[in-house]
Structure 1
């Protein structure tokens, strides 16, 4: 079969077939009387083998080695091709995200585009100081897409940079909640923790609903952060976690303050008072826990826990009794 017919049937151009011949990759076994290349059936099968290996990303040199060396093992080469392809896809994905960020910024001119690119470059810096500087730099009238800020805040491990990102996200407006909410269901617990902190800085019913859902998270840190944020918004489902924080001494002062604010509602006050009193009984032998519970009782609105605090002035634990007495005395009772 002559080269033109081979090209037509195989889909490989005559130019490429000549290139294969010059490299010794696929040499036609025959020549016509006129000197034209003539390919045998075996030659054509080799062409298809070459094209199949090219489709996997192998170079022509690698293909030649693979076809000529009977002892060639493809495993290592395939693994390397996978690694290279994954890296290329990562770069392509980064480029796509940058293009979407520029498009989402609605920049009206090249100065706006350059500002977004500068921000993206800064956020990808290995220097925490550089990332923070990029976030806090003046926007020069170019709105920063909330998707960029949300993605950065979910990935940021440095607390100072994360704080700057949360501040910028809260100021950016737009659909910040939707952009961050995906982090609440991430399999990565660190991402969920960051997402809850970011949502706590955002206002609105949607943010409150997502935070309330995070009260059921399997991670105790996520639950605690969600309890502080959602409890401050009036979510009574946060009460058990907040009481637990008082007992465990984890952000107990903040938790007690939120419980006090929730107790401004008469219906919630009775429930919270009962939960704190129950814990006093459970931890009768732990002075430190009981003192924290007494402090939490003192955060409740005037009159709600006054009777309990007066009873505690006669507690068998002298430290608890003295602390309760000081609180009762300080309240003017």
Structure 2
């Protein structure tokens, strides 16, 4: 077959076939009387072999070595090709994410594009100070996409930079909660903690309560506590069991007690909280320190039942518990009926 027919049948251009010939990769075994290249069936098969190996990413030099050396083993080279391809795909994925971030910012001109690119470069700095500066020094008309800031929040380990990012995310265009929601389901517990902490800092954001309520079932205690405190401040009663548990465990117990106090403004919820705290006081596992923390939490609640429980606790066998409870009873007795929330005169 002449070169034109080989090109039509193989899909390889005549120019590339001549290049293969010049490299000695696929040389036609014959020539016509007029000196034209003439390819045998074996030559055509070799062309298809070359194209098959090219499809795997081998260079022409590597292909020549593979086809000519009988001792050539593909395993090592294929392993290298896999690593090179993975690196290339990672770089292309990074490029794709950058392009999407620029597109999401709806730039009005190239200056807006350059500002977004500068922010992305700043966020990629190895210096925490530079990353923080990149967030706080942002200027210009181009809004920062919530997805870009959320991605940075989920990977940022420096607390100062993380705080700046959460601040910027809360003020960004777009749905910050939706951008962070996937992070609450991540396998990495640190990512889940960052996601919930960031969502907790956006109290008015739509969908925040739903995401945080789901986080109450997280296997990590820190995630559950972040979510419970944020929900308690929002008046979501689903947080009550976790908040009571925090008081018992002594984990951010003062904040948990304040959140329970805020939730107890709802009379129905107040009874539920009162029962939960009283039940923990009666538990045989409640040591002196636990009973003192529970007493401190009770003071945050309204109603006469609180004083009754504290008066009983003032007769506790442990002098420290009894003293704390007595002081709290005195404090409650000195409050006005409105402050006590029980209507006493």
Shorter-chain TM-score bucket reads over 0.9
Provide the TM-score with structure 1 as the length reference.
0.95
Mapping of residues 1-333 of structure 1, within 5 Å: 1-202=1-202, 203-283=204-284, 286-301=287-302, 303-333=304-334
The question of whether the paired residues in 2 share the 8 Å contact of 1:284 and 1:290 is answered with: no
The verdict on how the C-alpha distance between 1:117 and 1:311 changes in structure 2, with shifts beyond 3 A counting, is same
Structure 1 residue 151, shift from structure 2 partner? 1.4
Partner of 2:343: none
| SS in structure 2 of the partner of residue 179 of structure 1 | helix
Question: In 1, Cα distance between the equivalents of 2:285 and 2:65?
Answer: 79
| SS in structure 2 of the partner of residue 193 of structure 1 | helix
The question of whether the paired residues in 1 share the 8 Å contact of 2:232 and 2:260 is answered with: yes
Question: In 2, Cα distance between the equivalents of 1:170 and 1:190?
Answer: 20
The question of whether the paired residues in 2 share the 8 Å contact of 1:294 and 1:309 is answered with: yes
Q: CA RMSD in A?
A: 1.6
Question: In 2, Cα distance between the equivalents of 1:284 and 1:198?
Answer: 35
- Unaligned stretches of 5+ in structure 2? 335-345
The verdict on how the C-alpha distance between 1:314 and 1:108 changes in structure 2, with shifts beyond 3 A counting, is same
The question of whether the paired residues in 1 share the 8 Å contact of 2:31 and 2:37 is answered with: yes
Give aligned pairs, total: 333
Question: In 2, Cα distance between the equivalents of 1:141 and 1:84?
Answer: 39
Question: In 2, Cα distance between the equivalents of 1:320 and 1:42?
Answer: 96
Question: In 2, Cα distance between the equivalents of 1:23 and 1:326?
Answer: 95
Question: In 2, Cα distance between the equivalents of 1:141 and 1:34?
Answer: 70
| SS in structure 1 of the partner of residue 108 of structure 2 | coil
List per-residue Cα deviations over 1:39-59 (Å, max 9, x = no partner): 111111111000000011110
The question of whether the paired residues in 2 share the 8 Å contact of 1:231 and 1:239 is answered with: yes
| SS in structure 2 of the partner of residue 162 of structure 1 | helix
Between stretches 234-243 and 196-205, larger displacement belongs to 196-205
List per-residue Cα deviations over 1:72-99 (Å, max 9, x = no partner): 2212211211111121112112112212
- Unaligned stretches of 5+ in structure 1? none
Structure 1 residue 179, shift from structure 2 partner? 1.3
The verdict on how the C-alpha distance between 1:82 and 1:171 changes in structure 2, with shifts beyond 3 A counting, is same
Structure 1 residue 314, shift from structure 2 partner? 0.7
